[in-house]
Amino acid sequence: MPLPKSPAATDASPVTSWRPAAEQVIEAGRDGFARAYVAAARGARRLARASGLIAALDRRRHRRFPLFLRSLFAVHDIDELDRLDLPWWTFGAIERVDAFLREREGAARAFEWGAGASTLWLSRRCREVVSVEHDAPWWPPLATRLAAVPNVRASLVEPRAAAAPECPSGRAGWSGVEFAPYVHAIRDAGGPFDLIVIDGRARAACLDEAVHHLAPGGLIVFDNTHRRRYEPAIARSGLRVERIGGFAPAVPWPSQTALLSRT
Ligand SMILES: C[S@@+](CC[C@H](N)C(=O)[O-])C[C@H]1O[C@@H](n2cnc3c(N)ncnc32)[C@H](O)[C@@H]1O
């Protein structure tokens, strides 16, 4: 399906070139907070390493709470999160998905919107992982790491400006951005999939699409379902929903990850 075009933008225009100034200010504030938080965590990590705290937590990381504390020093550090063997979902959900994949003895095939440490985590537990990422600045370091993993097929599918997006993002500052090619990437990915992870952008549209690509007995992992804007999509999916709240790696506030299935 051809992408809708706004009069002010073409498919070739970068998203940031046309976004209204006010929205860019909101985004900049959010990004500024994230950068400050990551910088503070890096500083704290140097102190924690020097004091022996990191080593002490590493020795105890088979238990959930020390592992959570250890992960706080690994925010936005894919290599550390990989060493800790952690995707960015709530700890309860990680354990449930781990058990789901162990039952399938490495034979499961997974599709994921929103690549990162989770992609590496899945690659160790699945026969094949297909992952789609939207974030161009995040892509080069990620792609380098994923290229070394033979059972991962990952691609960057960037959003485009559009007046009336078919697959919008509900995130502040992203109205009028088209994610349809990103959402529809699953159509050519060789499904159905035993596991589908929704942890990127345009999550409501991703869920609408995911239900058509889920293998019998399959599971959908939908992260950050504490955000109310995802509720209509969850309701219309008709799937059984199990919500697993609690802490997730690398951030000091609670979240919620939902597991959706047909039975
Ligand atoms: C919501 S996160 C989830 C990533 C993945 N599903 C996981 O569990 O690790 C996805 C977004 O966070 C950002 N991101 C994730 N890891 C990052 C890192 N280590 N450094 C910078 N940005 C990161 C990127 O913008 C990416 O599109």
- Tell me the CA–centroid distance for residue 79 and ligand 1, in Å: 12
**pLDDT (0 to 100) of residue 24:** 52
Q: Which of 73, 84, 138 to mutate to test the pocket of ligand 1 (most atoms within 8 A of CB)?
A: 138
Burial per residue of 99-108, b for 16 or more beta-carbon CB atoms within 10 angstroms, e otherwise: ebbeeeeeeb
Looking from the CA of 260 toward its CB, the CA atoms found within 13 Å total 23
Helix (H) or strand (E) holding 205, with range, is helix 203-210
Q: Which of 34-38, 41-45, 53-57, 78-82 has the lowest mean pLDDT?
A: 34-38
- Tell me the CA–centroid distance for residue 76 and ligand 1, in Å: 7
Q: What is the pLDDT of residues 8-35, one digit of tens each?
A: 333 333 334 434 444 455 555 667 888 9
- Tell me the CA–centroid distance for residue 115 and ligand 1, in Å: 6
CATH fold, domain 85-261, is Rossmann fold (3.40.50)
Q: Nearest residue CA, atom 5 of ligand 1?
A: 116
Q: Across all residues in the chain, what is the average pLDDT?
A: 90
Q: Is the pLDDT of residue 164 over 80?
A: yes
224 burial (CB, 10 Å; 0-12 / 13-18 / 19+) is: middle
If pLDDT is split at 50, 70 and 90, which confidence band does 52 have? very high
**pLDDT (0 to 100) of residue 27:** 52
**pLDDT (0 to 100) of residue 6:** 30
**pLDDT (0 to 100) of residue 25:** 53
Q: Is the pLDDT of residue 2 over 70?
A: no
**pLDDT (0 to 100) of residue 263:** 76
**Signed CA dihedral, 199, 111, 75, 142: sign only:** negative
171 or 194, greater pLDDT:
194
Ligand 1 pocket list (CB less than 6 A): 76-78, 87-88, 114, 116-118, 133, 135, 138, 199-200
- Tell me the CA–centroid distance for residue 30 and ligand 1, in Å: 15
Which atom in ligand 1 lies closest to the alpha carbon of residue 224? Answer: 1
Q: What is the pLDDT of residues 229-256, one digit of tens each?
A: 999 999 999 999 999 999 999 999 999 9
**pLDDT (0 to 100) of residue 26:** 52
Residues 6+ apart with CB under 8 A from 3: 11, 160, 162, 166, 178, 180, 181
Mean pLDDT of 132-150: 96
Q: What is the pLDDT of residues 199-221, one digit of tens each?
A: 999 999 999 999 999 999 999 99
Q: What is the pLDDT of residues 92-108, one digit of tens each?
A: 999 999 999 999 999 99
For residue 184, which amino acid is it?
A: H
**pLDDT (0 to 100) of residue 231:** 97
From 214, 162, 204, 152, select the one nearest 183 (Cα to Cα): 204
